Amino acid sequence: MIDLLPAAGFIGLLASGCYMIYRSKAKEVKLLEGVEYVDLDDSLRSKLTEGKTIEYAAIQGEVYAENQALRGKFSPDTFGVVSNVTIREYSSKYSGTSRSWHDTDKLISSTDYSVPFKLVSSDGDQSIRVSNTKQASGLTLEAVYEHFEPAEGGNVAQYLIDWFRGYQLRGIQTMEKMLKVGTTVTGVGQVVLSSDGEIQLQPPESNGNYYLTRDNLDTLIKQVTSKAKIWRNVCIILTIGAGILAVYALYKKHQRAAEERERIARIARQRRDQSNTTTDEVPVVENPNSDESRLCVVCLTNERDVVLLQCGHVCVCSTCVSQLNLCPMCRQSIDRIVLMYQS
């Protein structure tokens, strides 16, 4: 029978991992709830004089390129600061297991483009440079171009070949996404005054994650909180599952041990009954020449005739073992008992 205790331990390890992720997400939520929200105005520069920094702050502004903006590769009338172009293949594959066709897709290529940009106040008077954008999380791009090119319908021979191969190409999708100029973005990170006198948003040096998002701060907090709750619920489910599995495994283990002891006791009774019916009753006389090393360490009368597992000790008789839960020699738990038949 399969031992369920290792499985319970593995599920417990998964629960521990989920708990660590939940603690990390909960810490993110706490930091975001306590973040300092700063306005992009003249007062911001005065806060950063004399080498001071704002360790963790949230700031909002409109996206503009520092120099020349990116022009859309497939939508030339669209301008942005971050661009992603993906080409994806869509096909149908035959599954021998389910004996049916399934739609699948595969990423062929993904190319990223970006230029330095800044966040500008609504009145256009103040701006903050955004650095290390690739380290930021939470940034979603807007789809500006999407085209699906269906596969050309080949001849009958090609169709039959694809059918026997279990693969049929449906088409190629090209998609372009951009962070467009003028988009309102919320940045969460460290605010400093750079060496060239520009106000700059950058990843925090200590605690806190670096965020760039098209949502406002409240929505960002709700999103991170939702993720934390998901990991918490997964942790709870796995912990309960591991506990139930461990209790069931221990119950079955003790049940098997009890059944084994009962079986040994039944065999011992049968041996005694057979001895009583096949021999005359005579007074028991101890043999002074008997080997004490073969006597049961509990009753010191009967010979040792069982092996205790998992420790492997041979130290008790089949009569006494039914009353034991631990090995008298090493004090390990008795999982199974094997009878010895001595010639």
- Residues 245-303: pLDDT tens digits? 999 888 888 888 778 777 777 776 776 666 556 444 444 444 444 566 788 888 888 88
User: CB-based contacts of 325: which residues, under 8 Å, 6+ apart?
Assistant: 257, 333, 334
Q: Quote the pLDDT of residue 319.
A: 79
The mean pLDDT value of the chain amounts to: 85
Average pLDDT over residues 308-333: 85
Contact yes or no for 214/141 (Cβ under 8 A):
no
Indicate whether 201 pLDDT > 80.
yes
Q: Quote the pLDDT of residue 291.
A: 63
The two most distant CA atoms of the chain are separated, in Å, by 116
> Does a cis peptide bond (omega within 30 degrees of 0) precede residue 323?
no
- Residues 49-77: pLDDT tens digits? 766 888 899 999 999 999 899 999 998 89
Q: Quote the pLDDT of residue 271.
A: 64
Q: Quote the pLDDT of residue 286.
A: 46
Give the span between the Cα atoms of 169 and 244, in whole angstroms: 48
Angle formed by the axes of helices 217-278 and 5-33, to 10°? 160
- Residues 73-116: pLDDT tens digits? 998 899 999 999 999 999 888 877 777 888 888 999 999 999 99
The top-scoring range by mean pLDDT among 14-28, 286-300, 312-326 is 14-28
Whether pTM exceeds 0.85: no
Find, among 194, 202, 69, the residue nearest to 132 by Cα: 202
Give the span between the Cα atoms of 93 and 164, in whole angstroms: 11
Kindly state the tokens that stand for 121. Answer: 């106040």
Average pLDDT over residues 150-175: 79
